């Protein structure tokens, strides 16, 4: 079986990672690789690490170029996917790595992103708890999938077992994330320069303004939280990849260390890509680099009355391109783990 895949936005960080991750899939064959400003250049000029694709020429991102493929992956800036996606045939599987189709609420879209809401697609997080079982069961046969946000993935996977099991109170979640610089994309901004970032830690979008907040709350609600609230603080730290989400919530009445641990272990016992570490071990982002892995640990701080859960992922793999491939596998009826590694690159 050959799956012909086109990638729009092939010169950016997300696009490059889509190329790297999808190329490891035994059935994937790349068709058009497209971009805007860099159309006409070779992949080698923008993604020098992707040696086997070095001489491929980037085409302009047009509906014509993207036509005639089995799968189209959109790695475009937020707000740019809608116009393209609307013109792609209904029987093509479109995986949108942007935010355009993640939110169910048009109001939330308007508040956090602005502009018109493009719509809502099936959400590409197979592990998500929903009122009707896991999200996994909703994806087979889907032709449109919204790939989750990277921070959203880390926070959701960290906390949802506690929500689903009723052992935490999701109305007062606090999440602080150490995030690597690739999450910001190839944007030319002074605060993203190496001279600024090296040797420094600095927060941004503090106080509830980050665009991933409504998507996290949507997932918490999906997992069963009646009135989810979150204080969300991302902190840029000197690494190119990785998210370390430290997430706490009040321990629910009646819950204790045993019921908490059981909730997390049970929730992920059959998940191929989520691993709850042995008690006492805490995840390092380095352990997930390049892999579609989410490493999770949880403990109860009895004095503080809070559960503390930590999740480490590679923002570009399980946080984006790996999630896209995982969802593609499910959508197409292939084995979910096909072409995806759980071997991280450390040290």
Nearer to its own copies, 243 or 328 (CB): 243
Candidates 8, 150, 168, 177; catalytic one: 150
Figure out which of the listed residues 15, 180, 319, 322 binds its own copies, where binding follows CB under 8 A.
180
Residue 103 CB, nearest approach to its own copies (Å): 16
DSSP per-residue letters across 211-244: TTHHHHHHHHHHTT-SS--EEEEEEE-S-SS-EE
DSSP string, 276-288: EPPTT----GGGG
Tokens of 243: 């998210």
Contacts of 293 (CB under 8 A, 6+ apart): 273, 274, 275, 287, 313, 314, 317, 318, 342, 344
Of 63 and 286, the one with the shorter C-beta distance to its own copies is 286
If binding is defined by CB under 8 A, does position 271 make contact with its own copies? no
Smallest separation (angstroms) from its own copies to the CB of 143: 28
Q: Which long-range contacts (CB under 8 A, 24 or more apart) does 96-100 make?
A: 96/121, 96/144, 96/145, 96/146, 96/147, 97/9, 97/14, 97/18, 97/73, 97/147, 97/320, 97/321, 97/324, 98/74, 99/146, 99/149, 99/211, 99/215, 100/146
Q: For residues 8-47, which are near its own copies according to CB under 8 A?
A: 13, 16, 19-20, 23-24, 44-45, 47
Annotate each residue in 121-160 with x if it binds its own copies (CB under 8 A) or - if it does not, as one string.
----------------------------------------
SS3 state of residue 99: coil
Would you count residue 178 as binding its own copies (CB under 8 A)? yes
**Residue 280 Cβ, how far from its own copies at the closest point, in Å?**
10
Q: Is residue 269 at the binding interface for its own copies, with CB under 8 A as the rule?
A: no
Structure token digits, residue 191: 């605060």
| Chosen residue from 283, 319, 322, 339 binding its own copies by CB under 8 A | 283
Nearest to 119 by CA among 140, 137, 104, 138: 104
In the bound complex, what is the minimum distance in angstroms from residue 246's beta carbon to its own copies?
A: 5
Closest separation in Å from C-beta 52 to its own copies:
5
Footprint on residues 208-247 left by its own copies (CB under 8 A):
208, 213, 229-233, 235, 237-242, 244, 246
Let me know if 311 is a catalytic residue.
no
For its own copies, the binding residues in 185-214 under the rule CB under 8 A are 186, 188-190, 192-204, 206-208, 213
Residues annotated as part of the active site = 150
């Amino acid at each position: 079986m050959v799956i012909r895949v086109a990638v729009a936005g092939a010169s950016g960080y997300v696009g490059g990672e889509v190329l790297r991750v999808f190329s490891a899939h035994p059935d994937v064959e790349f068709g058009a690789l497209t971009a805007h400003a860099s159309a006409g250049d070779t992949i080698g000029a923008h993604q020098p690490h992707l040696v086997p694709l070095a001489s491929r020429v980037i085409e302009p991102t047009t509906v014509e170029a993207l036509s005639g493929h089995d799968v189209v992956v959109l790695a475009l800036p937020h707000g740019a996917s809608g116009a393209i996606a609307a013109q792609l045939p209904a029987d093509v599987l479109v995986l949108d790595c942007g935010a355009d189709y993640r939110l169910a609420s048009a109001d939330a879209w308007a508040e956090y992103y602005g502009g018109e809401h493009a719509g809502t697609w099936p959400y590409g997080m197979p592990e998500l708890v929903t009122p009707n079982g896991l999200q996994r069961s909703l994806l087979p046969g889907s032709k449109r999938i919204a790939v989750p946000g990277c921070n959203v993935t880390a926070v959701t996977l960290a906390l949802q077992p506690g929500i689903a099991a009723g052992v935490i109170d999701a109305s007062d979640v606090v999440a602080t994330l150490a995030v690597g610089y690739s999450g910001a994309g190839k944007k030319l901004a002074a605060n993203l320069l190496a001279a600024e970032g090296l040797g420094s830690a600095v927060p941004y979008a503090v106080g509830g303004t980050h665009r991933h907040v409504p998507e996290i709350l949507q997932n918490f609600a999906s997992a069963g939280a009646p009135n989810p609230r979150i204080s969300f603080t991302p902190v840029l730290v000197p690494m190119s990849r990785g998210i370390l989400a430290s997430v706490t919530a009040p321990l629910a009445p009646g819950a204790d260390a045993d019921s908490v641990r059981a909730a997390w272990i049970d929730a992920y016992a059959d998940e191929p890509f989520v691993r709850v570490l042995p008690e006492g071990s805490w995840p390092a982002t380095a352990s997930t680099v390049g892999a579609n892995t989410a490493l999770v640990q949880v403990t109860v701080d009895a004095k503080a009355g809070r559960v503390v859960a930590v999740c480490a992922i590679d923002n570009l793999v399980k946080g984006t391109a790996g999630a896209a491939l995982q969802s593609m596998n499910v959508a197409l009826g292939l084995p979910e783990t096909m072409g995806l590694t759980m071997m991280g690159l450390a040290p």
